[in-house]
């Protein structure tokens, strides 16, 4: 999970897009034991404009605290522990239906 978060933060840092940026993570918390990478994630999130939304499924108490702390590093971070699967499915369906207003794309055909 740490490596994925580091890569996600890097992607947003390289983006010139000014829209509200979110990293959405689904985890059990079992995959966050590497201290060095945790320090890199902390620094990346602190210095990023991106927000972190994390869905944690049955994490240990220690993992829960650490995951919630990661979300708190971002401006609008959200931590949701043991989400109801039916509500989660409804939320994901709703998100997939959102139409984003993106700048027009110009496609040129060269012959």
Q: Is the pLDDT of residue 110 over 50?
A: no
Q: Is the pLDDT of residue 76 over 50?
A: yes
pLDDT class for 70, splitting at 50, 70, 90? very high
Q: Give the CATH number of domain 2-96.
A: 3.40.50
Determine what percent of the chain is predicted with pLDDT higher than 90: 11
Closest CA to 25 of 53, 63, 46: 53
Give the pLDDT confidence score for residue 3 in this predicted structure: 84
Q: Which of the residue ranges 37-46, 63-72, 100-109 would you say has the lowest mean pLDDT?
A: 100-109
pLDDT tens digits for 5-50?
888 888 887 776 667 788 888 888 776 567 768 888 889 898 888 8
**Cβ pair 68, 79 in contact under 8 A:** yes
Burial class (CB in 10 A: 0-12, 13-18, 19+), 84: exposed
Domain limits of the chain? 2-96
Give the pLDDT confidence score for residue 37 in this predicted structure: 80
Burial class (CB in 10 A: 0-12, 13-18, 19+), 61: exposed
On whether the pTM is more than 0.75, the answer is no
Give the pLDDT confidence score for residue 17 in this predicted structure: 64
């Amino acid at each position: 999970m740490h490596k994925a978060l580091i890569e996600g933060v890097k992607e947003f840092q390289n983006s010139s897009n000014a829209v509200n940026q979110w990293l959405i993570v689904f985890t059990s918390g079992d995959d966050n034991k590497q201290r060095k990478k945790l320090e890199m994630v902390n620094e990346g999130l602190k210095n990023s404009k991106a927000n972190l939304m994390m869905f944690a499924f049955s994490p240990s108490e220690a993992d829960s605290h650490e995951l919630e702390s990661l979300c708190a590093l971002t401006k609008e971070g959200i931590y949701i522990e043991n989400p109801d699967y039916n509500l989660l499915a409804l939320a994901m369906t709703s998100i997939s239906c959102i139409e984003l207003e993106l700048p027009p794309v110009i496609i040129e055909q060269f012959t």
